[in-house]
C-alpha cells in the first residue's frame, strides 16, 4: 500500500507542479466567459432604455425584473417608482455589465468576484420572493437531482467566483500586470 500511495503522491506532485498557480484562476475565468458572461450581458441589455445613455433611463423590464411585486401593485406604471428604484435599477444594470467585464479582463478580479457573489445572492432572493420561484426550481442540496435553478446552479456559479476571490485572476490578467500579487 505504501508503494501505491508514494506513486500516487509522486504523480499528483508532478501534476500540481505543472498546473501551478495559473490553472485554477485561468480556468475559472474561462468557465465564466464560456458559460455565464452572455447570460449576464443579455440580461443587462433587457434593462437598458433607449439611446447611448439608456442605462440612465432603465426600461420597464428593468423595474419588472428587480421589483416585480411593487410594479405589479402599481399596475405596471413604472413612472410611479421613486429615486430609490431608479438608483437600484441603474446600479444593478451597470453592475451586470461592468463586473463580468472586469472578471474577463482580470482587473480588480477579487473585488468583481465578491460583487458577483452579492449580485447572485440578491438575484436569487428576488427570484424566490419577488417572482415566486418555488419547489423544484429552488431545489435542495444533497437531494440527488443537480439541476435546480437556485440552490444547485447558483452554488456552482459562486464556486467559480470563490476561486477568483481566493486565487485572484491568474497570470493572464490586467491585475497581474498592474498589481503586485497577494502572497498566500
Give the separation between CA 85 and CA 66, rounded to whole angstroms: 9
Pick the more confident residue, 18 or 115.
115
**Distance in angstroms (rounded) separating the CA atoms of residues 67 and 115:** 20
Predicted TM-score (pTM) of this structure? 0.87
Grid cell for residue 86: 431608479
Q: Is the pLDDT confidence value at 21 over 70?
A: yes
In the chain, domain spans: 21-178
CA distance linking residue 184 with residue 172, whole number of Å = 19
What's the whole-number mean pLDDT along residues 165-181? 87
- Tens-place pLDDT, residues 46-76: 999 888 888 898 999 999 999 999 999 999 9
Which whole number is the average pLDDT over 108-132? 95
Instruction: Report which DSSP code applies to 56.
Output: G
Amino acid at each position: 500500500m505504501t508503494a501505491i500511495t508514494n506513486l500516487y503522491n509522486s504523480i499528483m506532485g508532478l501534476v500540481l507542479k505543472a498546473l501551478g498557480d495559473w490553472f485554477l484562476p485561468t480556468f475559472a475565468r474561462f468557465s465564466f466567459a464560456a458559460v455565464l458572461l452572455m447570460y449576464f450581458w443579455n440580461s443587462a441589455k433587457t434593462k437598458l432604455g433607449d439611446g447611448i445613455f439608456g442605462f440612465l433611463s432603465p426600461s420597464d423590464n428593468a423595474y419588472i425584473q428587480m421589483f416585480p411585486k411593487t410594479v405589479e401593485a402599481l399596475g405596471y406604471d413604472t413612472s410611479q417608482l421613486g429615486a430609490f428604484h431608479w438608483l437600484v435599477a441603474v446600479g444593478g444594470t451597470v453592475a451586470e455589465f461592468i463586473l463580468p467585464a472586469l472578471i474577463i479582463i482580470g482587473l480588480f478580479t477579487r473585488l468583481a468576484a465578491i460583487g458577483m457573489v452579492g449580485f447572485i445572492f440578491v438575484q436569487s432572493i428576488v427570484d424566490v420572493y419577488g417572482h415566486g420561484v418555488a419547489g423544484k426550481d429552488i431545489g435542495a442540496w444533497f437531494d440527488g437531482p443537480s439541476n435546480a435553478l437556485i440552490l444547485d446552479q447558483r452554488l456552482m456559479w459562486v464556486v467559480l467566483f470563490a476561486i477568483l476571490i481566493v486565487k485572484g485572476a491568474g497570470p493572464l490578467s490586467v491585475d497581474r500586470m498592474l498589481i503586485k500579487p497577494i502572497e498566500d
